[in-house]
Amino acid sequence: MGVLLIVHSTSSAQEQQPDSLKVYEFETIEVQTTAAKRTTPVAQDNLSREEIVRASYGNDIPSLLALTPSMIATNETGIGIGATSIRLRGTDATRINVTINGVAMNNPDSHSMYWYDTPDLMSSVGSIQVQRGAGVSTNGTGAFGGSVAMTTDALSPNFRGSASLSYGSYNTNKQALHISSGLMRDHWVVDARLTHIGSDGYIERGSTDLKSYMAQVGYYGDDTKAKLLSFGGSAKTYLTYNGVSREDMRRYGRRYHDSGQYITSDGPFVLEDGTHVDYYDDQTDNYLQINNQLVVNHRFDERWQVNATLFYTYGYGYYNQYKDDAWLASYTNLVTDKEQGDLIRHKLMRNHLGGINAAAQYRTKNLDLTFGGSWSYYTCPHWGTLSWVDGLDKGDVGGRWYDNDVTKQDANAFVRADWSVLRGWMDNELHLFADIQYRYVHYKAWGTNDNAIWGDEGVTMQPIDVNVKYNFFNPRVGISYIHHRHNIFASAAVAHREPTRSDFTDRHMFAADDSYPKPERLIDIELGYTYIAPRVTVGINLYYMLYHNQLVATGMVNDGDDALNTNVDSSFRRGVELMASWKTTKWLTLSANATLSENKIRNYVDELRDSPTYGENLGTMTISYSPSIVGSLIADFHVKGFNAQWHTQYVGKQYFTNNEIEALSLDAYCVTNLNLGYTWTYGKERSVRFGLAINNLFSTLYESNGYGYSYMWDGERYDEAFYFPQAPINFLANVTVNF
């Protein structure tokens, strides 16, 4: 499937007019440092602009990425909008490197990619490449499951615009307007987009209110090209990250969750004692993110070219949270003798990230040499305030109940070579590949955290004092051989990754000591084969990922729903990825992919101090959140202006912890989505597209994610599990006018 997409993208570019081709080449040059080529010995899949447009109704990008092998999309609100995330080969989003135009998008502190902080990014993306495994050298945090390299869409040499409207189940809606000036005075292009996305969500009160923009100014000279772009927006989402237990789903229904609930005289849900429940209506996550990039490319001659990207990202956000019967001693800014009380708290952060990426490429007929590097600096204070405490005057509530700061410096230098040892002789190509990266990380955090420490002398806020430096050496080597319709590659890579903020600050919540978490190391060995015929493509990829000190999820989460991880000395992921595509007729293509894997920890010692099996060596255990089977069937029907895509995905059973406890697991599920569209073209670049997305076609009752943990109380064992139910059959219709 991926290879077919590459061919399609290339042929589409060749059919464009000269001016359009010049713009298209500019877009591809600027991301050369993070994207893999066809001959690069990396397991990869490419999503074309056509596929991206077909899915651009308002859903977050993870729903589109789920079309690629070994990829799973999760969602808290139940409809693919809002708090969405991805897992690849069983690894979570903090280990999947995401870049746009070569700039790292993962938060340097949490390593997560918050897709709703850049709403409707899908409408501005021109191409997406998913690399599975360690991939090529990239910027930002390490790729431990894979990476997602995106480019913004090519600027048009002609004046054009579009207006898009979507509406569907649960009051899901989208309004978007896009205008492009076309090439002005042979050098300049101005482009802008505005979008609003809203939804009530399947989960009760799981509302989403997203506003976004994209603005670009491009300059195109003969040898020098530059583009200044700014994109981002504001997001307001109701907090749904606490999930729901199976007991509460049976009692109140699958849409229920208790975030922000308090007891009052009326409400939609009835408790066992007959009282009713109502909710604090501003239990929300609010975030503003503005991303700015200045990209400059210069071509000296046919062999040499350089590019540099200056970037700056500003972010500001806060939670509003109602807490009932909170232990007031945990809030050190209160003046009171009360032990417990209801309150409304605010957790805030403001971050700045700036830096530069630079690279140079030297190309001859047989050698492609790239070298460069990146430097970034990140700073982010975190603090918390209270706006209301039941029974206390405002004078008794003041200041910050926690306050800490973070700085992070991240730098890397790399050199990459693709040497064509053999090219053209009897349709044979042999490429040798090497990629060597040095990465330096300096992470500091200090102050007091939001975790209360209860001791013999009273309650204090958890002190933070982290000052660590890492020097990582990440080599990659590989070989690829192409003969007519056959393509085979082999590669070996070493990658390293530093712990996240939560790994440092929340370790005390489960660990028996005060030690720091350790950085992770991955040795990734891959072997792939692809056969490409005019109507049939088949592929197989074998991988063996050997970890040292892998940080695996314990099943527990902190107060902000960040996973609590623990190091395990020796673990591995190994599997086979199968892919096939058959163009049965010129109007129907059938595709399938499947991943069969084994994900294990060797000699797992339970280090969760409150666990019933604390201190025991449990032997070989399955890594949490790692299904042994993931598979998809895709049917793509297209005739004249009509197209339909059928996507069925099966995801195997997943455990929340590393103890293989049945009560703490996510059932296997199989879900089908259907995407219908018709495009009416009138004129050279004018068209109207009508689309209808039918999600969960057969109303499968399933949960895409969850978390859980075990503990002992009064000599008895308790297993607590919480889930994120997904909506039954739901619809989202769209009409887009291109003019």
Please determine, for residue 166, whether its predicted confidence score (pLDDT) is greater than 50. yes
Q: Phi and psi dihedrals of 391, rounded to 5?
A: 90, -5
Contacts of 22 (CB under 8 A, 6+ apart): 157, 220
Average pLDDT, the chain: 90
Across the range 373-380, mean pLDDT stands at 97
Bridge partners of residue 557, in order along the sequence: 563
Question: What global pTM score does this model have?
Answer: 0.92
For residue 44, pLDDT over 50 is answered with yes
442, HSE (Cβ side, Cα atoms, 13 Å)? 7
Angle (CA) 510 511 516, round 5°: 125
**Mean pLDDT, residues 587-594:** 97
* Dihedral of alpha carbons 702, 703, 704, 709, sign: negative
- CA dihedral over 273, 274, 275, 281, signed as positive or negative: positive
CA atoms 522, 631, 555, 614: torsion sign: negative
User: Is there a contact between 183 and 219 (Cβ–Cβ < 8 Å)?
Assistant: no
Tell me which residue has tokens 């099966």: 650
pLDDT at 178 over 80: yes
- Cβ atoms within 10 Å, residue 471: 9
Q: How far apart, in whole angstroms, are the C-alpha atoms of residue 727 and residue 206?
A: 12
Confidence bin at 16 (pLDDT 50/70/90): very low
Strand ranges (E), 390-514: 402-425, 428-455, 458-483, 486-497
Write down the pLDDT at residue 228. 96
What is the SS3 assignment for 401?
coil
Per-residue pLDDT, 562: 72
pLDDT of residue 2: 38
pLDDT in tens, 270-295: 777 777 788 999 999 999 999 999 99
What count of residues does the chain have?
739
- In this predicted structure, the answer to whether residue 17 has a pLDDT above a threshold of 80 is no
CA 483/CA 425 separation, integer angstroms: 10
**Distance (Å, rounded) from C-alpha 246 to C-alpha 653?**
17
Alpha-carbon span 570 to 574, nearest angstrom: 13
On whether the CB atoms of residues 75 and 82 are closer than 8 A, the answer is yes
Predicted local confidence at residue 8, as pLDDT: 32
pLDDT, tens digit (0-9, with 9 covering 90-100), for 385-396: 999 999 898 888
144 pLDDT higher than 90? no
pLDDT band at residue 706, thresholds of 50, 70 and 90?
Answer: very high
Find the helix or strand (DSSP H, E) in which 35 lies.
none
Task: Classify 2-322+331-738 by CATH class.
Answer: mainly beta
Question: Amino acid letter at 433?
Answer: F
Q: Which helix (H) or strand (E) holds 319?
A: strand 304-327
Rounded to an integer, what distance in angstroms lies between the CA atom of residue 349 and that of residue 63? 28
Q: CB neighbours of 272 closer than 8 A, spacing ≥ 6?
A: none
CA-to-CA dists, residue 272 to 246, 269, 275, 276, 472, angstroms: 16, 10, 8, 9, 56
How many CB atoms within 10 Å of residue 294?
16
Residue 310's pLDDT band, with cuts at 50, 70 and 90, is very high
Taking only the tens place, the pLDDT of each residue in 453-496 is: 887 777 888 899 999 999 999 999 999 999 989 999 999 999 99
Using CA atoms, how far apart are residues 43 and 592, in angstroms rounded to an integer?
16
- 315-358 pLDDT, tens digit each: 999 999 999 889 998 898 888 889 999 999 999 999 999 999 99
Q: What is the per-residue DSSP string for 407-438? A: EEEEEEEEEEEEEEEEEEETTEEEEEEEEEEE
In 3D space, the residue among 424, 425, 437, 416 whose CA is nearest the CA of residue 368 turns out to be 416
- Cα angle 174, 312, 357 (rounded to 5 degrees) comes to 115
What DSSP letter does each residue of 632-660 carry, written as one string? EEEEEEEETTEEEEEEEEEE--EESSTT-
Q: What is the pLDDT of residues 396-434, one digit of tens each?
A: 898 899 999 999 999 999 999 999 998 767 778 999 999
pLDDT for 268 equals 74
Among 78-87, 595-604, 630-639, 647-656, the least confident range: 78-87
Q: What's the token pair of residue 229? A: 């772009």
Q: CA–CA separation, 241 vs 257, rounded Å? A: 9
Question: Which residue type does 317 have?
Answer: G
Q: Does 1 or 308 have the greater pLDDT score?
A: 308
pLDDT at 197 over 80: yes
- pLDDT tier, 560 (very low <50, low <70, confident <90, very high otherwise): low
Dump pLDDT digits (tens) for 223-249.
999 999 999 999 999 999 999 999 999
- Top pLDDT among 451 and 738 is at 738
CA distance 151 to 31: 7
Please state the domain extents for the chain: 2-322+331-738
Q: How far is CA 498 from CA 108, 517, 533, 559, 626, in A?
A: 10, 9, 43, 22, 21
DSSP string, 275-290: -EEEE-TT-EEEEEEE
Question: Would you place residue 13 in the very low, low, confident or very high pLDDT band (cuts 50, 70, 90)?
Answer: very low
